Amino acid sequence: MEVKDKIVIVTGAGSGIGRATAIHFAKFGATVVVSDINTESAQKVVDEIISNKGKAIVNKCNVAKFEEVENLVNSTVNEFGKLDVIVNNAGIGPNLLRTHESRLKDWDAVIAVNQTGVFYCMKVALQQFLEQGYGNIVNIASLAGLKASPNNISYSASKFAVVGMTKSAAMEYATKNIRVNAVCPGYTESALLNQLIGAKPEMDAILKSVIPMKRYGKAEEIADAVVWLASDNTRFITGQTITLDGGTSL
């Protein structure tokens, strides 16, 4: 995939899909800014990339804080002179409560990270992309942003918002050499899935029963699609939501 020498920010890159995506970009020759609120986890990813002769640095960022997002993008540009791609992956999971039982603090936290955080990252990155004349955004949405997801109101709302923001921005900047796409993973092996099954162990069998492939996705499989969308191999693709769910949405 054509991402060699690109400068790429991946948020929430300390684990799960973000980690796999950062490693995958580096494998194909990109320089990766591994961003996470947990610098210890992020450093482990950087160490793994460097041990495999890749290029990466750590940049701590809480995407729910606008000034930290500004620092993330500005420090990246100051360090490398440009920003080619930002992957907005940072997110937190659902609380598995019915809508009337939802706690206000949980709603606020999920929306702050999953929705507002993506907006912040898009806003700041787009300012840089307009200045340099090109850029690429890949947002990590979810199958929960495309179809009904009960007991999941804040997470579902945030991921539907990510899909909408992706499509709106793609139209706004289509003539500016800036592409904006999203991937919508289904049930994928990750900390969020572990959290779900840990809270309700019976969900493991239930979830697999609705996946035609009868297995969960792997983070590396999602990363493949992200890097492809960010590459020069997909120059005519914008405003799309690529669903990776083993057929669940069928």
- Catalytic residue (choose from 120, 155, 173, 187): 155
- Distance, CA of 219 to CA of 188 (rounded, Å): 7
Q: Of 136, 148, 191, 169, give the one whose Cα is nearest residue 13.
A: 191
Is 155 part of the annotated catalytic residue set? yes
Residue labelled with tokens 């706004």: 172
Burial of 65 per CB tally in 10 Å (0-12, 13-18, 19+): middle
Write out the two tokens for 1.
Answer: 């995939």
- Distance, CA of 136 to CA of 129 (rounded, Å): 8
Burial of 100 per CB tally in 10 Å (0-12, 13-18, 19+): exposed
Strand residue runs (E) in the chain: 7-10, 31-36, 55-60, 85-88, 135-140, 178-185, 241-244
The DSSP 8-state label assigned to residue 112 in this structure reads I
| Triad 40, 65, 24: Cα angle to 5° | 45
Side chain identity at residue 213, one-letter code: M
- Distance, CA of 32 to CA of 6 (rounded, Å): 8
Side chain identity at residue 24, one-letter code: H
Write out the two tokens for 30.
Answer: 């990109």
Report yes or no: 96 and 151 within 8 Å, Cβ to Cβ: yes
Return the active site residues: 155
